[in-house]
Amino acid sequence: MSTAGSGGGGSDPSAEALAPPSTVDVVVIGGGVAGLVAAWEAARAGLSVTVLEAAHSFGGLVGSNPVAGVDLDSGAESFATRGGTVAALLADLGLASEIVSPSRVPARVHHDGVSRAMPATGVLGIPTDLDAPGLVEVLGEDGLARARRDLDLPVDVTGARPAAGPGAILRGVGPAPAPAGPTLAALVTARMGEAVTDRLLRPVVRGVHSVEPEELVATDLLPGVLDRLARTGSLAASLAEIRAAAPAGSAVQGLRGGIHRLVEALVAELARAGADLRPGAPVASLLPDGGGWLVHAGSARIRAGKVLLACPPHTWGFVDGSAPEATHALARLGADWPAPSSVDLVTLVLDDTTLPEHTRAGVLVGVPGRGAKALTYASAKWDWVAEAAGPDRAVIRLSYAAGIVPGDAGERGALALADAGRLLGITIGADALIEHARVSLTLPRPTRAWGMSQHIEAARSAVAAMGSLDVAGTWIAGTGLASVIADARAAGGRISGF
């Protein structure tokens, strides 16, 4: 998905009315990972392909972020290993030998001003061993006593239905149906109490999925959990089974040198295959043209047999809503799609020799308030980051909800230093800061959030009715490279005719 989008801007299409359009088999609108992967599948099938990206670089949520001479990831820094999807693509790109696993950095949760260890055997932070060391420190005696009631409670959890909220009323689509089963928050609270929900589950769901657990149906993230609950008699035992059934080894991996190398490899392969790659080319209009499409981007007019929309619907202002009914429906879907959210990532490169002794851990924040919602100790998590930074430097990344990080660089650095020190339990002086950098990302509403399935089904139906149009990206495939790449390869196959 391209976070910059590909709609808006460009010149008036009428100004180029005399310029003859070029002709290609496929135009891909959006040069994020999804667009690049689908374009590569089409190019490898022998089709002529043009990729149009509004931003001046490709990659979208996957990019490069140079800080203090270290080329770091600006967005995604790892990928889920499930299904082997990402590893297979990396092998196709000649990068299999560069896949690395993270170090076992301890996870901690910050609550009431203190960072404490999360249960080592948890699932989404939910404990599977209610006698685990340190659990009482996180939950408190009353919270732990309530959690342990899960072992004796009768199995009769239907969960509360969430009230209408973001994504619940689908403009142009209709009201969202009630969720099929309890929400994740309802299930965990009913079985283990509010302390587990608020102090363990909520920080993980916020940090990983960018939504609240009240917005997720339990079985969407934990397939089969209700059947297991009915059989085992407790949520802890059910999750222990799910954890035991997970494949051995790391659930995530990365690339030596950064995930952004995936984008560089895709761009190089597309160029080698003869694809026309155009960064800095926002699309001004997309018009039906016989059985295909006419695309205007800047001074270019391109006639394409097929078009892949690999940019999120909130950028679809270029779709002509006055055109035939199918295109009108597509424009309406774009206008009605739930608004994206934003996150700011602030990366710090620190002089490690000035830092007091501390636990080099990843931290999730229970109640972020006006501070960071998560901290990643990148130089402890990834050996390649530590090597690139050097022996006397530490690299830390903090994530913030939109509207918190100051625009002034000095104030921004001071806030990030204070937050890093607070979450790590140390004092970090201003002299420790070598350099810092901020990256702002626009994130589509997660596909697993309640109410989104109806939007996605409507989008799939609308493009299927056109035949010569397809879609791909995080906004429809789901969060994470594993989901995005699998969906994009399938889309690339469809537009290639196989």
Summarize pLDDT for 192-247 with one digit per residue, the tens.
Answer: 999 999 999 999 998 888 889 999 989 888 989 999 999 999 999 999 999 888 76
Nearest to 28 by CA among 51, 10, 8: 51
What pLDDT does residue 7 have?
Answer: 43
What pLDDT does residue 122 have?
Answer: 87
Confidence band for 158, pLDDT divided at 50, 70 and 90: low
- Lowest mean per-residue pLDDT among 5-19, 44-58, 190-204, 286-300: 5-19
What pLDDT does residue 102 have?
Answer: 95
pLDDT digits (tens, 9 = 90+) for 140-150: 999 999 999 99
What pLDDT does residue 173 have?
Answer: 44
Other Cβ atoms closer than 10 A to 145: 14
Residue 303 confidence (pLDDT) above 80: yes
What pLDDT does residue 50 have?
Answer: 98
Polymer length of the chain: 498
Among residues of the chain, what percentage have pLDDT more than 70? 90
Residue 129 confidence (pLDDT) above 70: yes
Report yes or no: 413 and 421 within 8 Å, Cβ to Cβ: no
What pLDDT does residue 104 have?
Answer: 87
- Lowest mean per-residue pLDDT among 59-63, 460-464, 470-474: 460-464
The mean pLDDT value for 351-378 works out to: 92
The mean pLDDT value for 425-444 works out to: 96
What pLDDT does residue 230 have?
Answer: 92
What pLDDT does residue 1 have?
Answer: 44
Higher-confidence position of 111 and 485? 485
What pLDDT does residue 156 have?
Answer: 74
Nearest to 110 by CA among 205, 213, 204, 210: 204
Report yes or no: 304 and 295 within 8 Å, Cβ to Cβ: yes
Residue 14 confidence (pLDDT) above 70: no
What pLDDT does residue 9 have?
Answer: 43
- Lowest mean per-residue pLDDT among 93-107, 232-246, 318-332: 318-332
Inter-CA distances, 136 with 188, 201, 288, 482, Å: 17, 15, 62, 36
- Lowest mean per-residue pLDDT among 168-172, 242-246, 379-383: 168-172
Q: Which residue has the tokens 């660089």?
A: 409
pTM of the model: 0.89
